[in-house]
Amino acid sequence: MNAIDAILNRITMYRVVLYYLGALIAVAVGLAFFGILPYSPAAILFSAGLFIAACSIIDRIGARLFSSEPGADSAVITGLILVLIVNPVMPTDLAGIGIILAISTWAIASKYIIAWHKKQVFNPAAFGVVVSALIFSQGATWWVGNLYLAPFVIAGGLLIVRKIERFDVVIAFAVAALATIAFTSLPDSLSALWNTLAHSSFLFLALVMLTEPSTLPPSRSLRILYGILAGVLFAPAVHILSYYFTPETALLAANLFSFIVSPKGKHVLTLASRTQLADGTYEFVFTPERRFAFTAGQYLEWTLPGANNDSRGNRRYFTIASAPEEATVRLGVKFYQPMSTFKQELLALKKGDTISAGQLAGDFTLPRDENKKLAFIAGGIGITPFRSMVGNMAATGKARDTVLLYGANTERDIAYKDFFDSARERLGLKVVYAAADKATLPNVVKGRIDERMITSQVPDYADRTFYISGPRGMVTSFTDALRALGLPSSQIKTDYFPGFA
């Protein structure tokens, strides 16, 4: 898995989904060519081209009309999803072409029209097919849900879920759906469960559509409730009065729940300043158009206009480095070579330029119990959530018994050193910087953070809750090390870190 993670960490979440859906359609075309699927390969390819073109064009029109930034990747992803859940049509099927164009229009329009402060409410593909079913009595057939495609759906879907680290919602959905189906199908539960797994929308909905980040709740507990709700409503026998839910309406109901419990809207932020923190690391300070509430340690999805010129797209997830009490929003970013178009554009921002951010989420937050002893382990730019947490402690005057171990390749790579040195004086924070090559600065030790350093610098480690933030490989390594020291999972919290793309 380390090799797979290394690849995933260098591809944005949206591109992982896009490549996966494209590969799944290619597999479907191959199976259709050999007569394994009851569709014409030409029909699948024609429908794919039509859906992608229609969704992309409508997305650009919607973005212009509503003064928003078009989501090129998300529009194509919506088109590819629709290809796999709506029956393919041939170029001679004018009625079918009309339905494809209508579904595409309603799907993409929902992102702009049914939105709150530019935050979409519903999964676009699900919304498009629901409206089509209501008007034309022809919606989704979920032809992707068949036994021949199931291995490919599972393999690629699990990569997506691993990339975005949302196994919680998938497991909650699966358990709720299968349990409800089994209970409502007695005494034929086994037959019903087999049909669900091998011949339904279950796998594709759970692994691809349910996990769309823009419609997920912000915290783990809410995501679990979201998955349970979608799972219960997914069961074919579940109904309200005379209305029986379909997979797509079950998803829309869960989307509505997520919207109700999630932060609303996107934010436009104006660059106030940019400062170099360390080698290749810069801090961007933004002024938001309006104040918004967040919890120290949470992250946002950031979108840059005009940064969509390479294969990695114009959106990234970054942790908020500022404390919630600050009037400005701080963003600490490490720039690796070669730089993506997004980071080139970000580094080129001038004072007064704007960036948009939304989808506030994250459970990597301080415990409610202020008496808990804490230990922070950061690698590289993984220091940003701790900058937010310590800033929160300073702003509220609520110091906690905390040790920070911060590892970097060189002393020049240490970011926010002045800030944490100040916090050591003001809050009693114990700070240990570890540089792999050499140590000449105060409080910097030579070497890498390992079990020996943890036990020597944090002798009461068994009494502390550890927070680990950094690249996935580092987080996994320290998690294993702490477990080897006897710490239970309840005392280890890890940060969602989207990689270097």
Q: Tell me whether strands 464-469 and 492-494 are parallel, antiparallel or unpaired.
A: parallel
Q: Which phi and psi angles does 125 have, rounded to 5°?
A: -60, -45
**What pLDDT sits at residue 466?**
97
**What pLDDT sits at residue 278?**
93
351-409 per-position pLDDT tens digit: 999 999 988 888 999 999 999 999 999 998 999 999 999 999 999 999 999 999 999 99
First to last CA, the chain: 18
Each residue of 196-224: b (16+ CB within 10 Å) or e? Answer: bbeebbbbbbbbbbbbbebbbbbbeebbb
**What pLDDT sits at residue 308?**
64
Structure tokens at 194: 């087999």
Judge contact between 227 and 171, C-beta under 8 A: yes
* Closest CA relative to residue 84, chosen from 141, 127, 157: 141
**What pLDDT sits at residue 264?**
75
**What pLDDT sits at residue 13?**
84
What is 246-299 written as a DSSP string? -HHHHHHHHHHHHHHHSPP--EEEEEEEEEEEETTEEEEEEEESS-----TT-E
Q: What is the CATH number of domain 267-361?
A: 2.40.30.10
Q: What is the CATH number of domain 373-494?
A: 3.40.50.80
Domain boundaries, the chain: 2-261, 267-361, 373-494
Q: What three-state secondary structure class fits 286?
A: strand
Task: Tally Cβ neighbours within 10 Å of residue 350.
Answer: 7
Q: Which residues pair with 371 in a beta bridge?
A: none
83 class by beta-carbon count within 10 Å (0-12 exposed, 13-18 middle, 19+ buried): buried
Q: What three-state secondary structure class fits 69?
A: coil
Structure tokens at 21: 């859906």
pLDDT block averages, 10 residues each, the chain of length 501 = 78 89 98 96 98 96 84 89 97 96 96 87 96 92 95 95 92 97 95 93 96 90 97 95 94 96 87 95 94 91 75 82 96 89 91 92 93 95 96 94 95 94 93 89 87 94 96 86 94 74 52
153 class by beta-carbon count within 10 Å (0-12 exposed, 13-18 middle, 19+ buried): buried
Q: Give the number of C-alpha atoms closer than 13 A to the C-alpha of residue 442, restricted to the C-beta side.
A: 6
The alpha-carbon radius of gyration of the chain (Å, integer) is: 24
Q: Which phi and psi angles does 492 have, rounded to 5°?
A: -130, 120
DSSP H stretches of helix in 114-204: 124-136, 150-164, 167-184, 189-198, 202-204
